[in-house]
Amino acid sequence: MARNGLWRTKSIEQSIADTDEPDTKLRKDLTAWDLTVFGVAVVIGAGIFTLTASTAGNLAGPSVSLAFVLAAFACALAALCYAEFASTVPVAGSAYTFSYATFGEFAAWIIGWDLVLEFAVGAAAVSKGWSLYLAEVLGLVGVDVRTTASVAGIDVDWGSLLLVAALTVLLVVGTKLSSRVSAVITGIKVGVVLLVIVLGITYVKVENYSPYIPPAQDGGSAGVGSGGLEQSLFSLMTGAESSSFGVLGLLAAASLVFFAFIGFDVVATTAEETRDPQRAVPRGILGSLAIVTVLYVAVSLVLTGMVPYETLATRDGTKATLATAFAANGVDWAAAVISVGALAGLTTVVMVLMLGQTRVMFAMSRDGLLPRALAKTGTHGTPTRVTLVIGVLVAVAAGFFPAGKLEEMVNVGTLFAFVLVSGGVLVLRRTRPDLERGFRVPWVPFVPVLAILACLWLMLNLTALTWVRFLAWMALGVVVYFVYGRRHSVLGARTAADRES
């Protein structure tokens, strides 16, 4: 245990021992299947119905399928590192807990604060998208109603509030029940995706795949502006010109569609509630990633085979979706199916993101970096208090504030977590080679180093403005740590007691 307060590490043994405290003990109900469902549930959202089409039309053309493969490869490298850590340290908190054991308390706090961007802010942003699809689906059945209302001059998104309230209750009642509900809804949206694939195949024309990688064109990439802080950090640093299509367009597309995979790391946050985490967590992480990769690649191949990629380009600010390709082939009813699939998809995305956030905050509270009272578990074996707090925060953010650029902050926060976890595997292999590992990353140090490089490259493709906002959020986190977390750290108190004795 390091003596410097900022870098004091919490031993693996102590982390595991803390899971047996009666007042903060989580119920172990989950299996490998439950974790796989959670992974598929959070990764397959509205992105598969919208992101695929716009990326093909604006950046990569038919090679968007290869962009998904490249993004999946980068994700798989990080997933391997998550699998080793989660099987070695089966404790709630995911990257936060892993960092506490390797880099120390301050780094753990930073990554925990960072995960708020991925989970809580992400849940708020996605729930607003859910509300829009709810209005669309209600319109399909003849109920023309807006999901926003003006109350005392303030726009209130009641659709988001309704969703977050229902999911908060579900998460309080039990993680196993949440998994069962998630399985049903995930089954619906996967069924919609499969229907899109099977139906779309019948409209595929081989000539639409040529050229597979269209010639490069000058212009912005990945939705990034042409100058200033709206351009990618890489472009700002190097002065390189952005381009659509060509090899650079393909790489930019890979950076963009990577974010369709975000969320599989939520599986690692539930390790403490898993019956056999050494076997179940790696299977859940890698299994869910494999399933969604196959579905994403299949959808992208069908989509770009149905229509020429130029048809999918953004026009007058309107982005293409899967429905665009079906409408071009006279299958207008597909838009209704896609809307239902997107609504189901977003429901489980919000639920699992909220689940992940509660487990991270639960772990931070149990360590004293946030109020310890939040770590109390209820009669259902779930962290009731912290779940209610997260539910209120997400509801307020979703119901009363626009999502805006916060969605981009989710991306940079996630990649930062991936970098730390991949680096943590290297550190723990050196400092604790004796630990029992239910899963081991192959070809160390090559795989973790490659994962770090891949994530850093993707981070460089985010806008400079996103980086400015991210650094501002991190600076706020540093202030909170020194004002509260460091003074109330349980590990700090134990270290002080050891010194006195």
Look up residue 431 and give its DSSP letter.
H
Q: Which residues contact 16 (CB under 8 A, 6 or more apart)?
A: 89, 90, 91
Strand partners, 244: 217
Between the CA atoms of 286, 290, 291 and 292, what dihedral angle is there, to the nearest 10 degrees? 100
Which tokens belong to 105? 């308390």
Q: At 382, which amino acid appears?
A: T
Give the integer Cα–Cα distance in Å for 195 and 192: 5
Number of domains in the chain: 1
Strand partners, 149: 156
- Terminal Cα-to-Cα distance of the chain (whole angstroms): 16
| pTM attached to this predicted model | 0.83
Give the residue from 182, 149, 183 showing the smallest Cα distance to 167.
182
Look up residue 26 and give its DSSP letter.
P
pLDDT of residue 219: 53
Give the integer Cα–Cα distance in Å for 33 and 287: 9
pLDDT of residue 222: 42
Q: From residue 417, how far is each of 280, 284, 420, 456 by CA, in Å?
A: 22, 19, 5, 11
Q: What is the CATH number of the domain that holds 154?
A: 1.20.1740.10
Look up residue 149 and give its DSSP letter.
E
Element (H, E) at 161: helix 158-173
pLDDT of residue 44: 86
DSSP character string of 71-135: HHHHHHHHHHHHHHHHHHS--TTTHHHHHHHHT-HHHHHHHHHHHHIIIIIHHHHHHHHHHHHHH
pLDDT of residue 143: 83
Q: Containing domain of residue 68, as a range?
A: 5-500
**Positions in the chain whose pLDDT score sits under 50:** 1-3, 220-226
